Each structure stands twice: as C-alpha cells, then as structure tokens.
C-alpha cells in the first residue's frame, strides 16, 4: 500500500480528532442537555467553541482535496517522492494545525496552514504532471 493511501486511511483518525475536539468543547460550553436539544435560541458560543468550530471547518475545506489527490495518486500509479512528501506534509501539518488554533501565537496557525497547502500542491503536481 502506498504512503498516500496509508495516510488517507489514517486521516480518518485525524478527522475524528477534529470532530472530537469540536463536539467536546461545544458540550463543555453549552452542556449536554442543550447539545441534545433542537438548539433553538442559542446564545453566542465562547471563544474555545468558536475556535474548535473554525478549526473543524478549515480542516473539512482541505480534506476533500487531500482525499481526491490521494485516490488519484493511487489509481494512476503515480506515487513517487513528490506525492509521498506532499501527503506526509499535509498530514503532519493538519495534526499541528489543531492545537495551533488554540494557541495565541501570532502567525503560527496561518503558517501551519500554508505548510499544509504546500503538501497539497506537491500531491497535485506529482499526480497531474
């Protein structure tokens, strides 16, 4: 199995981590009873809940691209150093992005996001050309 496909499979754990953080912080902020309700007339969330939701949304925006490129790499048989490093960089950067969203260090989160984008670009170039 290629590195890209292996990381695609393990990216499910990454997705569960983002979902777990978001749902846990939501329940800590609003309470389990509210989370199990229709959530009508919801008050504004605290900053941690907002950050968790934004981190999850950001992850989901790039996750589909990673899935498409990893599958395309596997189907085309074009796995090489470029695509492998692209997958590794994206995967590692997305793990680093989650805690970075909660740390108030200027430019850290954006820098990590940029690194993950480089990983996707490497994957794209490797499979497309």
Split at pLDDT 50, 70, 90, the class of 6 is very high
**What would the pLDDT profile of 103-112 be if each residue is shown by its tens digit?**
988 899 999 9
**What would the pLDDT profile of 28-63 be if each residue is shown by its tens digit?**
989 887 777 887 878 899 999 999 999 999 999 999
Per-residue three-class SS string for the chain: CCHHHHHHHHHHHHHHHHHHHHHHHHHHHHCHHHHCCCCCCCCCCCHHHHHHHHHHHHHHHHHHHHHHHHHHHHHHCCCCHHHHHHHHHHHHHHHHHHHHCCCCCCCHHHHHHHHHHHHHHHHHHHHHC
**What would the pLDDT profile of 54-71 be if each residue is shown by its tens digit?**
999 999 999 999 999 999
Q: Which fold has domain 3-128?
A: 1.20.120
Domain edges within the chain: 3-128
The pTM (predicted TM-score) of the whole model is 0.92
């Amino acid at each position: 199995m290629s590195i890209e496909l292996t990381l695609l499979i393990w990216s499910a754990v990454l997705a569960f981590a983002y979902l777990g953080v978001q749902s846990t912080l939501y329940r800590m902020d609003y309470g389990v009873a509210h989370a199990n309700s229709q959530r009508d007339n919801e008050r504004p969330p605290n900053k941690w809940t907002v950050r968790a939701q934004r981190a999850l949304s950001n992850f989901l925006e790039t996750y589909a691209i990673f899935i498409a490129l990893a599958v395309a790499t596997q189907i085309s048989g074009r796995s090489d150093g470029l695509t492998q490093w692209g997958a590794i960089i994206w995967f590692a950067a997305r793990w680093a992005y989650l805690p970075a969203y909660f740390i108030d260090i200027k430019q850290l989160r954006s820098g990590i996001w940029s690194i993950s984008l480089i990983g996707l670009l490497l994957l794209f170039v490797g499979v497309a050309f």
